[in-house]
Amino acid sequence: MATYYFERDTGTLNAGRVREIIVQAGKDTGSPSDYNPENYSYSEESSKKVTAKGPETMKVNKLEKAATELGFKTTSVTVVEGLDADRHPLAASAEALAATDYGVQITMDQATVTALASGNYSLYGFKAVQTTVGGGMPLVWFKSTSYGLTTDVNWQIQFEAYTSQSQIIPGGQITGLNSYPATLGQQLVVDSPQGTGTIQQGTPGNIAVMNQTSNPFTCGISEVVNGTAEPLCAFPLYGNGLDAMVPIEKVMLTFATKQVNTGTVIERAYSQSILVDLTSATQRAVSFDINKGWSWGGYGWGQAIPANQNVVPILIEDGASYRSGARTLLG
């Protein structure tokens, strides 16, 4: 069983309109029986929010598209599987980590694709984490020039914990990784001057790096994107210190002419970017225009990031704010 949260930023919403949205979404799929409004019970939480409880057979992106088609614009949909409504949305962001495959589909017109290619633009991706550790910086997670009218960015919930002797300098690159496959609840225990170690049991809910030497290192998390594990953040790891991090499903995408490699430390957005929140859905769809920038239907899961904005607090979230409520993310 799942709970779907239908919310509007502007305008009103009621159970009747939600039923219409479900029916409309079923018309755009080969399995309309999966979108039967009779399979759900409804609760009008407010004039802008309605919950529907029932089987988790409906896709969030199809429901949001159907709402737009019916004129119920700025309607966002969140689905939480097996969780009570009073735990939303805090629990949703943590439980979403149990999913295995995520993706963002980018659509562009021919003029935009031609302009990007002729202008030597690359598509850059960045991933967010939560932590209480200070001094951390986001890294270029992936870089690609393989884009077209429809471009799919896909990643899997496969993590690694790493150490490096590179310095965390804006514009610098983190190289020479000692990287080990790790899952939530595990920690990399460093026991050599080179930064190597072993994966051991840690604290549930996070990935940690414990330094049992007196040597300082840089450490962080890598995640598989398009088939390759790439580092997405970097933190100072002091002698005999412990850094704990929680990867979250928020990605920032940007097209830019700046030529840097994966693992490069970023402090400010290279160009206008979009932050996409996938903590409540495994797939999102956005579009990009070379002149108009990013668009996503105005839903609450998207956020425009201006060029040159400081992205450190956006991609390195303060985990202390998540210590209350349904779940303690950091030990």
State the pLDDT at residue 42.
95
CA distance 119 to 136: 32
249/30 Cα distance (integer angstroms): 28
**Nearest alpha-carbon partner for 74 in 15, 6, 123, 20:** 6
Q: Does the pLDDT value for residue 328 go beyond 80?
A: no
Report whether pLDDT(115) > 80: yes
Residue at token pair 């992106």: 61
Average pLDDT, the chain: 87
Is pLDDT at 242 greater than 60 in this prediction? yes
Report the distance separating Cα 309 and Cα 138, nearest Å: 13
What is the model's pLDDT at position 248? Answer: 92
pLDDT digits (tens, 9 = 90+) for 79-110: 765 433 333 333 344 344 444 588 999 999 99
pLDDT 10s digits, 274-319: 999 998 788 899 999 999 999 998 888 999 999 999 999 999 998 7
Beta-carbon-side half-sphere exposure of residue 223 (alpha carbons within 13 Å): 31
Q: Which residues of 9-22 are buried (b: 16+ CB within 10 A; e: fewer)?
A: eeeebebebbbbbb
Around Cβ 309, how many Cβ atoms within 10 Å? 14
Condensed to tens digits (0 to 9), the pLDDT of residues 161-205 reads 999 999 999 999 999 999 999 999 999 999 999 999 999 999 888
Topology given in CATH for the domain delimited by 2-88: Alpha-Beta Plaits (3.30.70)
Enumerate the domain spans of the chain: 2-88, 101-322
- Please tell me the predicted confidence (pLDDT) of residue 323: 38
pLDDT the model gives residue 90:
33
Q: Are β-strands 217-225 and 228-231 bridged in parallel, bridged antiparallel, or unpaired?
A: antiparallel
Q: Which residues pair with 286 in a beta bridge?
A: 106
From CA 177, how far away is CA 161, in angstroms rounded? 9
Q: How far apart are CA 151 and CA 108, in angstroms?
A: 8
Q: Report d(CA 8, CA 77) in Å as an integer.
A: 9
pLDDT of residue 7: 86
165/207 Cα distance (integer angstroms): 19
